[in-house]
Amino acid sequence: MTNKTPARQDWDVAIVGGGLAGGVAAYTLARQGARVILFEKESGPHHKVCGEFISSEGHPLLTKMGLDLPSLGATSIKRFRLHGPHRSGEAELPAEALGLSREVLDEAILDRAQQAGAVIKRGVLVRGRVKGTPGLHLETTDGIVRAENLILATGKYEFQTVNKRAGRDSGLVGFKMHLRLKPSALKALGNHCDLFVFDGGYGGLAPIENGLVNLCFLLERSRLKGLKTDWGHLALHISRGNSALSHYLDEAEPQFSQFVTVARVPYGFIRRARPESGIYCVGDQMAVIPSLTGDGMTIALRTGLASASSILKGQSAVDYQRQVTSTLRTQIETAYLLHRLFKNPRLCDWAVFGLQKFPSVLDFFFSSTRCRVNAGFGAQKKLDSLMG
């Protein structure tokens, strides 16, 4: 990917952050002829804390952008298992999901955005907005740029121009590791995504590309006191809390020298403060759904697309935000209730029992914690037509 910028420093849209939300917004706007510049502070592919489970509501959007997910190595996920500390249950997913590392996926999206005509500036940090100047001027490590509109897609990183996010539960630390499981454990995982609940947190295992598996989990910050956070100690700690997990992790080979981590994820956050004119917040800067739903990436894609559509239509940031908030509110509330349940291992064992007896409850939770493709954000089919 080259870093060539045209001489002009005036842009229709400047995007801060080259994750899913920023990438899809850049692609959509550039395809429609807007002059777009995207800044990503990392200079190359990088790992992010994420379960890397792409829900059935999310991957059709990626395909629509022209990404061939199977050829990138995406693995099919058709079923899921829920393991309380003492009980396990299994069910079919309502539709096929995919597993693919963010290192590969985010890069592929940025490539598509660049092919569509967006200027992608890698290794450039946006420090903030230049105060006291008319319009939107941004100070970057590469100089100052002016844009008509700003899309804020900085994910977990707060940005001085908008209010800090406050979630309803920010006391968890997220950990991610890629693993090579022993053959019998890989076979047992098969095309499942397994969720595990243990004292002080929960997590999941999902197959990704090249025969690898993603292990991603959350632990209460208070439980980390006195605990070493290297692979050996943490794997032992979470395995002790859930015997099903210990079977998988036995002899597993970690692929990174240390865990990728994130702290203070503001679960349950939805941005409500009135946005300034021309500033559109997307992805995790707009809303943070509890991770157990595996729908954060879809929300990032949807809000990235919706922000691009709003800018193209001349819709204000206030109207964009109102529409997104009303679409996501119930989904995030329901997911938050489930998140509370998952944090109580004993209740979770009962939930596994209940789900086996009444599988239709599961359908309700699937449908109400997912960002539905044909609902909300205005005329969704019209939105999709902007992409491909």
Which residues here bind ligand FAD, judged by CB under 6 A?
A: 16-22, 39-42, 48-53, 125-126, 153-157, 159, 174, 216, 218, 262, 265, 283-284, 291, 294-298, 300
Q: What's the min distance (Å) between Cβ of 324 and ligand FAD?
A: 13
β-pair partners for 196: 83, 203
Q: Shortest CA distance to 53 belongs to which of 12, 92, 98, 23?
A: 98
Distance CA 124, CA 40 (A): 6
Residue 298 DSSP SS3: helix
The DSSP element (H or E) to which 262 belongs, if any, is: strand 260-263
Q: What's the min distance (Å) between Cβ of 279 and ligand FAD?
A: 14
- Residue entry with tokens 């609940």: 197
β-pair partners for 245: none
> Which C-beta is closer to ligand FAD: that of 262 or that of 337?
262
> Which C-beta is closer to ligand FAD: that of 267 or that of 345?
267
Distance CA 118, CA 130 (A): 23
314 touches 34 (CB < 8 A): no
Those residues whose C-beta lies under 8 Å from the C-beta of residue 338, and which sit 6 or more positions away, are: 290, 292, 293, 365, 369
Tell me phi and psi for residue 101, to 5 degrees: -70, 150
Structure tokens at 330: 């119930």
Q: What's the min distance (Å) between Cβ of 353 and ligand FAD?
A: 25
Q: What's the min distance (Å) between Cβ of 283 and ligand FAD?
A: 2
Q: What's the min distance (Å) between Cβ of 155 and ligand FAD?
A: 2
> Which C-beta is closer to ligand FAD: that of 157 or that of 366?
157
Q: What's the min distance (Å) between Cβ of 159 and ligand FAD?
A: 6
251 touches 182 (CB < 8 A): yes
> Which C-beta is closer to ligand FAD: that of 152 or that of 351?
152
Q: What's the min distance (Å) between Cβ of 39 and ligand FAD?
A: 5
> Which C-beta is closer to ligand FAD: that of 23 or that of 85?
23
Q: What's the min distance (Å) between Cβ of 315 and ligand FAD?
A: 20
> Which C-beta is closer to ligand FAD: that of 178 or that of 182?
178
Q: What's the min distance (Å) between Cβ of 218 and ligand FAD?
A: 6
39 touches 124 (CB < 8 A): yes
Distance CA 89, CA 83 (A): 7
> Which C-beta is closer to ligand FAD: that of 64 or that of 86?
64
Distance CA 117, CA 151 (A): 17
Q: Shortest CA distance to 118 belongs to which of 20, 22, 21, 19?
A: 22
> Which C-beta is closer to ligand FAD: that of 57 or that of 350?
57
> Which C-beta is closer to ligand FAD: that of 66 or that of 167?
167
Q: What is the DSSP string of 88-101?
A: EEEEEEEEEEEE--
244 touches 32 (CB < 8 A): no
> Which C-beta is closer to ligand FAD: that of 356 or that of 368?
368
Q: What's the min distance (Å) between Cβ of 357 and ligand FAD?
A: 27
Distance CA 244, CA 372 (A): 32
